[in-house]
Amino acid sequence: MSNKLIDLRSDTVTKPSDEMRKFIASAPVGDDVYGEDPTVNSLEERVAELFGHEAALFCPTGSLANQLAIRMLVAPGEELLTETNSHIVRAELGAGAVFSGITTRTWLAERGLLRAEDALEIAKPDSGPYLVSTTAIAIENTHNFGGGTVQPIEEIKKLRNETQKLGIAMHLDGARIWNAHVASKVELKEYGNHFDTLSVCLSKGLGAPIGSLMISTKERVQKARQWRKRYGGGMRQVGIIAAAGHFALDNNVKFLNKDHERAKSIATAASKVSLKVIDPKNVDTNIVGLDLSSMAITAPELATQLKEFGILTGPLGSKYLRLVTHMDLTDADIEIVNKVLPDLLDRALKSK
């Protein structure tokens, strides 16, 4: 056994490879606030084109890309609907309210899985002078806290159809849209087609150190560029970072399938102890969410035990432990996890 830690806390923990670093070192750069960084410009054009949209804006984080996007769709005092456990309402620290005066209502979905009717049931556009009007709906794909759930394209289409009749805009939080694309084989352009704005991350499974993009029409992206600067996100020779994004798109999408297989194998190993902890059928992509509510162990306790074996995991709730696979793991790492995790679960089950 090596001394190297097996880090399953997130797919954000990947480090730039030597090849990526070489590519970064040779990137042409300029002042991006003047629109003069050729590497940023080509990345923005490339990603917009990938999703069939007019324009894109390079951002330091996915949270900023999300916040700029929803700001373009929802006026102060108006309402954004989303699923209860989505990143936009749970993990961006109220930014929509703080920066944009956006109010939110949410619906709860098992594993975050989209059913168009859940969103439509609470959608209230054009609510007149006394009630809040819904102007946008945000969908997360894959759904992070739902356990890497891929949203069914049929439900997205149904929702798009109905919301277009109602005049409600749609935003995609596509931090892990690459995983959804690889798992479902739905084209990126098809995803792009159903949304007015999108955010995508290069810093998750694709292995870039930093970088996300907000994608939409030329007009919205132009406006979002001003707001990015206003928030202090105007960057200078940032082609240094955008180059990593190009490298990630060129080279790293192909590793995602492997991440998904490995997540499935971890889930399968854990499910042999108890299907209540995880059903491998529910592992769509690279996230394994263990439900410990039937076990005599909490997530922080199990995380501590795993750490003794050099395995780092994310206790995101008292009974919810998240394991995320990514391109910096090896087959040997997964073998260790698939031995240690079931052993510890088994011990917890027997001590109950």
Ligand X SMILES: *Cc1c(COP(=O)(O)O)cnc(C)c1O
CB of 41 to ligand X, least distance (A): 21
When the beta carbons of 110 and 308 are compared against ligand X, the nearer one is 110
When the beta carbons of 245 and 342 are compared against ligand X, the nearer one is 245
DSSP 41-99: HHHHHHHHHHTT-SEEEEES-HHHHHHHHHHHH--TT-EEEEETT-HHHHSSTTHHHHH
Residue 42 corresponds to which amino acid?
S
Q: Report how far residue 209's alpha carbon sits from residue 227's, in angstroms, rounded to the nearest whole number.
A: 23
Q: Are 176 and 145 in contact (CB under 8 A)?
A: no
When the beta carbons of 147 and 342 are compared against ligand X, the nearer one is 147
Task: Compute how many other C-beta atoms are within 10 angstroms of the C-beta atom of residue 67.
Answer: 27
Residue with tokens 């949209």: 53
CB of 201 to ligand X, least distance (A): 6
Q: Are 112 and 284 in contact (CB under 8 A)?
A: no
CB of 301 to ligand X, least distance (A): 25
CB of 11 to ligand X, least distance (A): 9
Which residues would be at the binding site for ligand X (CB under 6 A)? Answer: 61-63, 66, 87, 140, 144, 173, 175, 201, 203-204, 212
Give the DSSP H/E element, type plus range, for residue 160.
helix 153-166
When the beta carbons of 62 and 192 are compared against ligand X, the nearer one is 62
CB of 336 to ligand X, least distance (A): 26
Q: Are 285 and 180 in contact (CB under 8 A)?
A: yes
Tokens found for residue 49: 């084109």
DSSP 188-225: HHHHHHT-SEEEEESSSTT--SS-EEEEE-HHHHHHHH
CB of 90 to ligand X, least distance (A): 9
When the beta carbons of 210 and 334 are compared against ligand X, the nearer one is 210
When the beta carbons of 169 and 175 are compared against ligand X, the nearer one is 175
CB of 191 to ligand X, least distance (A): 14
For residue 142, cis peptide bond before it (omega within 30 degrees of 0): yes
When the beta carbons of 149 and 163 are compared against ligand X, the nearer one is 149
Tokens found for residue 90: 């749970």
